[in-house]
Amino acid sequence: MYESEERVSTESTDKYSIRSLCRLVVPMGGQEIELQQVDFAVGGMSLLRTRIREGRRFTVFDIDPATARQWGDALSRWAAAQPVNDGEPARPANDAPGSSDTP
């Protein structure tokens, strides 16, 4: 299971605030995955932002709580069905060799 970091960073504007929830590095490819909570000032809506970095390219998308729950459940079911092997699970980004806390 992946462990999240507490408040890696926070960004705020008058329209929204972003709080980093978890940063991971995928061992077989080196992609960096960051999950962020985006809270909008007007209306109080919160979304889960997923940022995937592959080299210099970023893929970013925001999802609502219901979609996040369905996606999380699907990921958990898939992971539970996989055989145990000698591979290492993804680790928090700050544990990656040569990484630092600054994005």
Mean pLDDT, 10 residues at a time, the chain of 103 residues: 44 84 93 96 92 96 96 94 69 53 46
Cβ atoms within 10 Å of 16's Cβ, excluding its own:
15
Task: Give residue 7's pLDDT.
Answer: 43
In this prediction, residue 24 carries a pLDDT of 95
d(CA 103, CA 95): 14
- CA-to-CA distance for 69 and 30, rounded, in angstroms? 26
For residue 59, the model assigns a pLDDT of: 97
User: What pLDDT was estimated at residue 6?
Assistant: 42
- CA proximity to 21, closest of 8, 38, 12: 8
Return the pLDDT at 93: 59
